[in-house]
Structure 1
Amino acid sequence: MDFLQLSALPYLTPPQKGALKKGNLQTLAELVLVSPQDLGRRCRISPLEAKAILNTVCENNRPQIKALTEEEESMCSTGDSYLDAALGGGLRTGMIWEVFGQSAAGKTQLALQLSLLVQIPPSLGGLSGSVCYITISSNLPTSRLLQIVEAHPLLSQEICGLEDISTIKCPTIPMLIHILSKILPDLVAQKAGSTKPVRLVVIDALAELFHSSDKTTTSTLIDRAQNIAEISTTLHALASAHDLAVLVLNEVTDVFANDQTDSGGDLDYKQQSRWFGRTEESNKEAALGLVWANQVNARIMLSRTGRRRYLDDGQSKRQKGDDGRSSGPDAPEEDTSILVRRLSVVFSSVGPLCSLDYIVTAAGISILPDDEILLPLLSSSPSPKLIPVPDAPPCSQVAPLDVGFAEARAAEDQEWENYWDADVISEDVYNSLELDTSE
């Protein structure tokens, strides 16, 4: 409805439509965001005429109030029951989801995984939909998509594939705004009557549009804030009007320790950002600042830990790892190790705050289960069904400490316990000790 053309509204008179056309107002969304004073100036009409137009439009477009029990929640599974529980049941439509993290943390892997799972039927956890995948500087890795289709137990070439993923490259901010306001609504309308309407929009990655060699000034910051606000407003309108899930990938910036305190009593940005821009143990935070953070419904951080895990042959499948190590049936034993990464829900309007370890396999992202963390999530998950996942070895959730260090410390403590339990020192030795009581 937000993109409805004003010229098609039957309740506006021809003179009113002519005045709106003179003011270069074309859609309903553009009209309702204009005040009566600005509308009068733009359309060269009196304030009373401008107010009459706005009143007519508002009277004929009253929002329908529904009870929460009447709202149907559409959710797309990630293909992993534990990850679904961490996200509050899966990737919900009508929201903007942000995934940020370092390079090679697995952001694109998750986006590709969801681009395929959204195509499968609802009985398997999908939405029977198609995807619009917008890339900024890179091309869509189709070979990796085909690999996930072959490796994931829920996917097959009969129910999902590349033909239902529409992709476009967008190197500039004006082009992205044009895509979101013109091209994407046309694509959604075109596929609305098909068997797989558009249900997911991916932007990979938004912060790349704002890389600039120009000196940062007040003017450039204002321009960036205005661009971010326009992009986010359009994304929210699309997600709400067409029941889409929007997944935006983002980058990180370094956080430097600052011992200076603000004597004025007001919290500065660095003090506030630790609550919404990163996790407590991380020295990196999401890019694009406070303006973008206020537009996001859920923020998820992916990070590298430097830890490795050794999986059995059934789980690693002796395939080439995401770290580039070659493997196969005759690979040496050390090649079975795989990098462990960390997923943290920084904030979410639909799910709990939590942190989990995960690995990237040929089938995509897979959570390493920890009963103490995951059992409460699974019991409170609103997901109607949990998709079974292969058993994984128990994983220590001690972060950011290295697992090897924790195991070595536990072994050392056990050694001392065994020593004192043995009680090799006799009672005579204790009695013969002379204690200095002069102090």
Structure 2
Amino acid sequence: MSCAGKWTNNPDLKPRIQAALRRVTLSQEEVLALNPRVVQRATGLSRTDVQSLRQATRTCPAPQTALALSSSGPLSSSSGPLSSGCRSIDVVLRGGLPVGGVTELFGPSAAGKTQLALQFCLSVQYDPQHGGLGSGAVYVCTEDLFPSPRLQQMISEQSFLRQDVPLDQIPKNLSDRVFVEHVSDLASLLSCLSRRVVLLLSRRLVRLVVVDSVAALFRSEFEASDWLRRHRQLLAVSSALRRISRQFNAPVLCINQVVDLVNPEQDQGLGPAPSSFGPALGLAWSNQLTARLMMRREEGLLIRGDQSSAPRSLQVIFAPHLPSAAGQSQRGAASSGQSQGSVIIGVWREGLRGHDQSEHRD
């Protein structure tokens, strides 16, 4: 097939398909990412025409964007996964967050998602031999204020959390390398990602990007009738995150909210439904992810010295690079303390740790 000229004028597409594309101005990426029924509804095309459109789109490469072609900073050298600083979590994730991909962490309120994200913001600053990337993190807040007091508490307890690292090799001034951005709408988020975040990455000041939370702005800005505009904005945000991750070989961690599921056994498109709730934003967002993790509070109480914590489970829902993710039983991961794809952790002063980890420095 020829891709000469504008994509909507592709001679291999029927005139009525070209006219429909010009009328709704769908992009190539949207045609492939959106559910075919959504494309059919938006364009008014028949099911057969939408199938022809998707087939033609797959054979026509999307144009490069300014961000993808940016020469503001060279690609960072390849490196291993970003450690969480917790051995039990790293075992489940096969070393930590994948570098060069978008990982979603979803779960109900008070599950510990933000605390785990803060822990990664500190771990990224360690040298590679200690599971870090030797750089900082940028934390983009979309709904709540950045939890500075909790970050400072975790920093003060780093020597207790990171007992695998000699005291003289624990990075100094950890808070100085966590850059915080607050955005209040989607336009501000896209501007932040394409300008300030890219600038920090290109100058090698950061190697980790956290968005907390990715769903908040979509819930507040759109009515039910704005479904097409919502899908476009969702794809714009997810595309920006993926380009950033690929261009700078940086892990991107997106915290996501949850929605109630009418049928918990219903297939959500990627991985098993882990409970009566599921991640917000739907299939179009799911298709942009490298991995999906779930956190939630479990029954019971963990006690360690003068501290106590409600147990949290961290479960791999899908991750093609993790062999343990395939065939994971949704009930087995929730009921067992630690299995191939899940782990029970506690939230302590120093951060998140598996409940089986040693309490004392040797």
TM-score by length of 1: 0.57
Question: What pairs with 1:92-131 in structure 2 (closer than 5 Å)?
Answer: 92-131=98-137
Gaps of 5+ in 1: 1-33, 43-53, 63-70, 259-269, 320-336, 370-388, 393-439
Runs of 4+ in 1 over 6 A off after TM superposition: 39-42
Paired with 2:137 and 2:129, the residues of 1 have a C-alpha distance of 19
Deviates more, 1:116-125 or 1:239-248: 116-125
Question: What pairs with 1:222-371 in structure 2 (closer than 5 Å)?
Answer: 222-257=228-263, 271-273=266-268, 276=271, 278-279=273-274, 282-311=275-304, 313=305, 318-319=306-307, 337-351=308-322, 352-353=324-325, 354-369=341-356
Q: Work out which of the residue numbers 92, 113, 116 in structure 2 matches 1:86.
A: 92
Q: Which letter does structure 2 place at the counterpart of 1:204? A: D
Q: Report if the CA contact (8 A) 2:126-2:171 is conserved.
A: no
Q: Which letter does structure 1 place at the counterpart of 2:344? A: D
**1:241 Cα deviation from its structure 2 partner:** 0.9
Q: Report if the CA contact (8 A) 2:122-2:174 is conserved.
A: yes
**1:148 Cα deviation from its structure 2 partner:** 0.6
Q: Which letter does structure 2 place at the counterpart of 1:167? A: V
Paired with 1:222 and 1:152, the residues of 2 have a C-alpha distance of 46
Deviation string 1:41-88 (CA, Å, 9 cap, x unpaired) is 99xxxxxxxxxxx9xx9xxx99xxxxxxxx944322101112111112
2:208 is the counterpart of 1:203 = no
Number of the residue aligned with 1:184? 197
Cα distance change of structure 1 residues 169 and 214 upon mapping to structure 2, 3 Å threshold? closer
Q: Report if the CA contact (8 A) 1:305-1:342 is conserved.
A: yes
Please give the secondary structure, in 2, of the residue aligned with 1:390. Answer: coil
Cα distance change of structure 1 residues 40 and 108 upon mapping to structure 2, 3 Å threshold? same
Q: Which letter does structure 2 place at the counterpart of 1:338? A: S
2:116 is the counterpart of 1:145 = no
Larger relative contact order (Cα-Cα within 8 Å, sequence gap ≥ 6): 2
**1:131 Cα deviation from its structure 2 partner:** 0.9
Q: Which letter does structure 2 place at the counterpart of 1:79? A: G
Q: Which letter does structure 2 place at the counterpart of 1:310? A: I
**1:308 Cα deviation from its structure 2 partner:** 1.4
**1:365 Cα deviation from its structure 2 partner:** 1.1
Deviation string 1:344-387 (CA, Å, 9 cap, x unpaired) is 11001222221221111111111234xxxxxxxxxxxxxxxxxx
**1:159 Cα deviation from its structure 2 partner:** 2.8
**1:306 Cα deviation from its structure 2 partner:** 2.7
TM-score by length of 2: 0.69
Q: Report if the CA contact (8 A) 1:87-1:350 is conserved.
A: no
Q: Work out which of the residue numbers 176, 185, 188 in structure 2 matches 1:175.
A: 188
**1:229 Cα deviation from its structure 2 partner:** 0.9
Please give the secondary structure, in 2, of the residue aligned with 1:200. Answer: strand
Please give the secondary structure, in 1, of the residue aligned with 2:144. Answer: coil
Cα distance change of structure 1 residues 277 and 214 upon mapping to structure 2, 3 Å threshold? farther
Paired with 1:211 and 1:229, the residues of 2 have a C-alpha distance of 15
Q: Report if the CA contact (8 A) 1:119-1:160 is conserved.
A: no
Cα distance change of structure 1 residues 205 and 35 upon mapping to structure 2, 3 Å threshold? farther
Question: What pairs with 1:10-29 in structure 2 (closer than 5 Å)?
Answer: none
Q: Which letter does structure 1 place at the counterpart of 2:346? A: I
Number of the residue aligned with 1:37? 6
Q: Which letter does structure 2 place at the counterpart of 1:188? A: L
Paired with 2:299 and 2:122, the residues of 1 have a C-alpha distance of 29
Paired with 1:222 and 1:277, the residues of 2 have a C-alpha distance of 27
Paired with 2:247 and 2:270, the residues of 1 have a C-alpha distance of 31
RMSD: 2.9
Q: Which letter does structure 2 place at the counterpart of 1:359? A: G
Paired with 1:350 and 1:306, the residues of 2 have a C-alpha distance of 30
Please give the secondary structure, in 2, of the residue aligned with 1:92. Answer: coil
Q: Which letter does structure 1 place at the counterpart of 2:190? A: I
Please give the secondary structure, in 1, of the residue aligned with 2:187. Answer: helix
Please give the secondary structure, in 1, of the residue aligned with 2:266. Answer: helix
Gaps of 5+ in 2: 11-21, 23-60, 70-76, 326-340
Q: Which letter does structure 2 place at the counterpart of 1:252? A: V
Please give the secondary structure, in 1, of the residue aligned with 2:89. Answer: helix
Paired with 1:184 and 1:98, the residues of 2 have a C-alpha distance of 18
Paired with 1:304 and 1:142, the residues of 2 have a C-alpha distance of 23
Paired with 1:391 and 1:165, the residues of 2 have a C-alpha distance of 28
Please give the secondary structure, in 2, of the residue aligned with 1:89. Answer: coil
Paired with 2:190 and 2:260, the residues of 1 have a C-alpha distance of 28
Q: Report if the CA contact (8 A) 2:266-2:273 is conserved.
A: no
Paired with 1:85 and 1:255, the residues of 2 have a C-alpha distance of 30
Q: Report if the CA contact (8 A) 2:89-2:354 is conserved.
A: yes
Paired with 1:239 and 1:275, the residues of 2 have a C-alpha distance of 21
Cα distance change of structure 1 residues 198 and 277 upon mapping to structure 2, 3 Å threshold? farther
